[in-house]
Structure 1
Amino acid sequence: MTGAERAAEHPPDPDALAFLARPGLTRLWTAARTRLERNGLRPAGTITLQRLDAEERQDLSLLLARQLTGPIATIRLPDLDARLRASAVGRGLAATLAELGPPLTDRRAARGAAAAERARVWATAETALEASSLSAQPWAGRWLEEIRRGGTLARQEPPTAATVITQAVQTLAVLFPGTGTRPTPATWGRGELATRTTGSAHGLDDGTLLSRLVLRGIALARGVEFPDGAPARRALWRTASVTPDEVSSTVLTYGLRPTGGTWREAALRERADHHMETHLTLRELRALHLEIPPRTRVHVCENPRVVEAAADTGRTAPLICTSGSATTVVLTLLDTLAAADSTLAYHGDFDWPGISLANRVIQRYAAEPWRMRAADYEYLAARTHLHGTPQVLLTGAPVEATWDPELSPAMTALDIALHEEAALDLLLEDLG
């Protein structure tokens, strides 16, 4: 029978446990617990308690069977262990601390187990690499070593880390099969590739750890820098014959009349002539020749209702809608228009998220604020008050408007959120 089993059969005297739980011994047990957990639960070494008060001196004196008179006590853990065994408690220091709770943790053993788990993860990765077509790729070993040094994988739970690194090896092996292997598709859809190697179409979605590891491998294989930003990541995927999802996200446009000669540009011009809005995907933007006359003024709004109203009233000015966020497809279109020497004019909601989005667009493109100054806000606030429009209060932390230092103080003072629809008639006037 083990010591723990004997202790369980013979619980300590309740009065003895009640004494050990006295407040005057709390610091002793805390310090002893910390030391034991570092020592592999062995009662070795000493602990020192300083600035003892009268209650602590009294309780420690009774426990140790020696009179303590000063403000400091040095206690050898082997002596404390022996004292507890010989007392009415009838068990050693580790068992006593476990009885007082919470359970002890062998931190040394836990560290050893964690190190062993990490070693197994890297052994799994090395075995998978060696068994794959990557073993013949000169960059593959360096890729695995960079991941090891980076530490990102080590911060995952071992089972998760082992799964992710194995899937990364499998994915890269599919993309770089070497010679003498079964033919693979000339081009993979990213979702198709993810399903093949992870079982989930979303396994390689942007922002996942797996996609970052695979992209790092592709970058090393192609001898390029790791990509910064979504457009660069998509471009890197394409160098490995992987097509990212470029059709699910769209940007809402109206009135675009590019001068290109393909059917795509002609279709946009025809839709503009018929006052029809158009949703463009990233895939379409890559194929379009968005050549428009230099210095064309392109208005940018935040809410789709502005586009709808412009179409209903037959306005002619080109209009782009962010739909409340500067997504990749939105920024791709605006980047293209800015590169074509268009002049962008931006309007959005007068609330703090709207100001944040406006800051981003105006700063990135040196866009003109379109009815987005303090005077515009104050006019709209007064007009809604005059019309008896229910007021919506601002929420969240104030955001400084980079283009007008008077706007944020005016919004803070009036504390009213005004969405784009409040200025719809004025915006439509500007759209011609």
Structure 2
Amino acid sequence: MERTGGVLEGSIGLNAPTDDERRAIIGITGIYRPEGVKRLTVSLAELDAAIPGGLLQALGGRIRDRAAERASEEAAREDLLAASSRHAGTPWFSGWLAAMSADGTLTRLIRRGDGHLIRQACAVLDLLPASFVPLPVLAEAATGDTKALGRGSPLATLVLRALALRTPGEPERRSSRRESDEGANEERSGRDHERAPRELWESAGVILDDLASQVLVLNLRTRGGTVVSRWLDDAAAHGIPFRLTLQQQMEYEIVPDVEEIFVCENPAVLRAAAAELGMASAALVCTEGIPSAACHKLLAGCPRPRWRADFDWTGLRILASARLRHGATPWRMGAADYSAGLELGESTPLTGSPAVSLWDPALADRMGAAGRAVMEERLIPALLSDLTRTR
């Protein structure tokens, strides 16, 4: 009855009935059933007619109208899938809605009475990308609640899921391997796990913690007399690596004063440049994986940085994004460089979704054919030769 909205269609059955049950069914249906029958059936209409007050009253007077519920859920789901957004029609936004429909997320939200979260998520996404906006400010602007996008909240989970599709690359890329082989432990691994949400937010210009967003630099001389500029200049004068936070950049304008700036992905490259070249190294910025908001803000004032990353699919995405955002030029990121690195020893298999290399289409083709990654640490001697400058 719940399936049919209360319409008395179909029948119910009784297995291995007792003799009293058999006689009762005979009385209801008027049809003789022999002793020993293994199963008896009776139509709902006959049962309704035989029960004083009817079957519905016997069941307590109320039943769920499952057909109407299904129709209501379907209408609500279609309404959410048609949610208006300035991103409507983009592959990542369409993919976000389709995935939530396919895995039951929309249905669960509707049944919990939380369908409005999809509209709120669209409102948040409509304000992105932003320009270094604090997360509470974004939350208030989109929902009126500064805590709506707090860590682990249902709304934050929905938005991050969309940003994961919007953002090229893989936020979990930043691993403890890129930090240091010394002191690698479970605590560091835990910190790395926490980076993924922060990197997704930062990829859209949202800041969770402007002190936690940092960029590692070497020999970055600046113009201006602020305290942070003096720190950078002093570090450059001695060839000492310096970790610059987004908070410092927001408080004090940093204007690089270098003719050329290089960008690498792994700290091992910057460490080697500091140890072997010191003050003789060209200005070098290390992204430590996916570039942070601090990195993007710093490089926004640097014309055409020379940029490289690992020879893996995420590395290609990092460089492709840097070319679009910063006008970066590839630094030893061609097919010939990959082949040279591949010949130097064994390499780990390529993993993840393939990417393209528009600056050198042969590179992605060659990587796909070889199926191996080449980390940039293998190229350190060649990279140091590029970084060496006249004293």
Q: TM-score by structure 1 length?
A: 0.50
Which residue of 11, 33, 42 corresponds with 2:7? 42
1:161 maps onto 2:114 in alignment: yes
Question: Residue 364 in 1 paired to residue 328 in 2?
Answer: no
Query: Which of 256, 274, 279 is the matching residue for 2:238?
Result: 274
Indicate the SS of the match to 2:377.
helix
Report if aligned partners of 2:149, 2:156 keep a CA contact under 8 Å in 1.
Answer: no
Aligned counterpart for 1:202 among listed residues 145, 148, 151: 151
Q: Cα distance, 1:105 vs. partner? A: 7.5
Residue aligning to 1:321: 286
Distance 1:261 1:85 in 2: 103
Q: Which residue of 1 aligns with 2:212?
A: 248
SS in 1 for 2:285: strand
Counterparts of residues 198-237 of structure 1 (less than 5 Å): 202=151, 207-208=156-157
Instruction: Give the conservation status (yes or no) of the 8 Å contact 1:347–1:371.
Output: yes
Q: 1:324 to 1:110 in 2, by over 3 A?
A: same
Tell me how far 1:310 sits from its aligned partner: 1.1
**Equivalent residue of 1:307, what SS?**
helix
Mapped to 2, the partners of 1:231 and 1:392 lie a distance apart of 27
Please say if 1:381 is aligned against 2:342: yes
- Quick check: 1:359–1:401 contact (8 Å CA) kept in 2? yes
Q: Distance in 2 between matches of 1:285 and 1:41?
A: 67
1:402-430: CA deviation from partner (whole Å, max 9, x where unpaired): 10011112223333311001100111111
Query: How far did 1:265 drift?
Result: 0.3
Among 267, 272, 290, the alignment partner of 1:304 is: 267
Change (3 A) 1:400 1:159: closer
Partner in structure 2 of residue 349 of structure 1: 310
Question: What is the aligned-residue identity percentage?
Answer: 32
SS at match of 2:114: helix
For residues 108 and 283 of structure 2, what CA distance do their matches in structure 1 show? 49
Ranges in structure 2 where 5+ consecutive residues have no aligned partner = 11-27, 34-38, 48-62, 77-104, 122-133, 161-200
Asked if 2 retains the 8 angstrom alpha-carbon contact of 1:84 and 1:92, the reply is no
Alignment partners' CA distance in 2, 1:308 and 1:369: 21
In the alignment, is residue 107 of structure 1 matched against residue 79 of structure 2? no
Greater RCO between the two (CA within 8 Å, min separation 6)?
Answer: 2
For each residue in 1:2-58, what CA deviation from the matched residue of structure 2 results, as whole angstroms up to 9, or x when unmatched?
A: xxxxxxxxxxxxxxxxxxxxxxxxxxxxxxxxxx6553142359xxxxxxxxxxxxx
Rg comparison, structure with higher value? 1
Cα deviation code 1:346-383 (max 9, x no counterpart) = 1111112211212111232221111111111112222x
Q: Does the Cα contact within 8 Å between 2:245 and 2:294 map onto a contact in 1?
A: yes
Given that 2:203 and 2:292 are in contact with CA atoms closer than 8 Å, whether structure 1 keeps it comes out as no
Paired position in structure 2 for 1:215: none
After superposition, the C-alpha distances for 1:99-152 in whole angstroms (9 at most, x for unaligned) are xxxxx974146459979x9xxxxxxxxxxxxxxxxxxxxxxxxxxxxxxxxxx9
Partners of 2:9 and 2:45 within 8 A in 1: no
> Is 2:364 the partner of 1:408?
yes
Quickly say closer, same or farther: Cα 1:113–1:356, change in 2 above 3 A.
Answer: closer
Match of 1:260 in 2: 224
Equivalent residue number for residue 91 of structure 1: 42
TM-score (norm 2): 0.55
* In 1, Cα distance between equivalents of 2:273 and 2:29: 88
Q: 1:91 & 1:370 partners in 2: Cα distance? A: 80
1:32-71 pair list within 5 angstroms: 39-43=4-8
Distance in 1 (alpha carbons) for counterparts of 2:347 and 2:377: 14
**Cα distance in structure 2, aligned partners of 1:323 and 1:350:** 15
Mean CA deviation greater in 153-162 or 410-419: 153-162
**Matched residues in 2 for 1:95 and 1:336: separation?**
83
Deviation at 1:399, TM superposition (A): 1.9
Q: Please identify, of 267-276 and 406-415, the stretch whose mean Cα deviation from structure 2 is larger.
A: 406-415
Shift of 1:259: 1.1
Q: How far apart, CA to CA, are the structure 2 residues paired with 1:94 and 1:317?
A: 89
1:424 aligns with 2:380: yes
- Deviation track 1:232-271 (CA, whole Å, cap 9, x = no partner) reads 875xxxxxxxx95211221112211111111110111001
CA 1:414–1:91: 2 relative to 1, 3 Å: same
Aligned length in residues: 265
Q: Distance in 1 between matches of 2:299 and 2:3?
A: 58
Corresponding letter in the other structure for 2:66? R
Q: Which amino acid aligns with 1:412?
A: G
Higher helix share: 1
Report if aligned partners of 1:41, 1:94 keep a CA contact under 8 Å in 2. no
Instruction: Please give the secondary structure, in 2, of the residue aligned with 1:392.
Output: coil
CA contact (8 A) 2:306 2:331 kept: yes
Distance 1:105 1:162, change over 3 A: closer
Point out where structure 1 has 5 or more consecutive residues left out of the alignment: 1-35, 46-81, 97-103, 118-151, 169-187, 212-228, 235-242
The one-character-per-residue Cα deviations of 1:152-176 (angstroms, maximum 9, x if unpaired) are 99972565739989xx9xxxxxxxx
Deviations 1:74-115 (A, max 9, x none): xxxxxxxx989987624335999xxxxxxx974146459979
